[in-house]
Structure 1
């Protein structure tokens, strides 16, 4: 199921909170431009957030959206999940391409997530598409391995 961390935490009874660290237009680097199918250097909306539960950081989220896709203020981003905001704006999320990995925390990441430098982090990169096949979001997220795990249900196709 294509869901956000906010939705996942809320459905697990975790009462998520969010701190917006950055919210604005930046030039698309090559990686972001390729993921969103826009020209390198063109404007994209970057949203950086820290997601917490019970006052403890769980993940640092960095999402990019095509410029002009969504008009949202910081207060809204702090009160709910990005995918909920997108759905409320009439954007119909249809599919995503995602990769999950792991690495060690840099000093800056460790400080932000309240972990020791070098602590294990789970990583996730995702490009989400709307029902027309247009890339509407590219995210790079890091999760505290001490506080979060990915769970997948796999089905056998006939």
Structure 2
């Protein structure tokens, strides 16, 4: 007899091992793309290797998720509840000029406008809000290291232009 708790569970998903036709696993093999089997909705068939770009994108997403989790824990431990925005400033061609954070982005942009010689190039501004300053700081560092904004100095090892 099955308990009501067991019957409410999702069925186990099985992923084939493309290198061993007899083996299958309850989680996908990392470097393969899978498609759902036509015969069994709980069985997934490996259809191809992931491209280097797909693997790099997954690694980057995992890095972001891990950094966010660590930052959330740090914020919770410190009682950091200061809502903070991560902003990206780009030129008309879509070139990323600058990445920063601020609890008051409009005030910060006013400061940039008064102080930064590159400010007249800015044509696009985007905001992403976070529940803590710690999380925004972590995401800012990742964004600068992975997106290489032209005018950031901190986190990218480049000199400002």
User: Could you say whether these structures have the same fold, taking a TM-score greater than 0.5 normalized by the shorter chain as the test?
Assistant: no
Which of the pair is proportionally richer in strand? 1
Q: Please identify the structure whose Cα radius of gyration is greater.
A: 2
Q: TM-score, normalised by structure 2?
A: 0.24
What TM-score do the two structures reach when normalised by structure 1? 0.24
Of structures 1 and 2, the one with the larger relative CO (CA 8 A, separation 6+) is 1
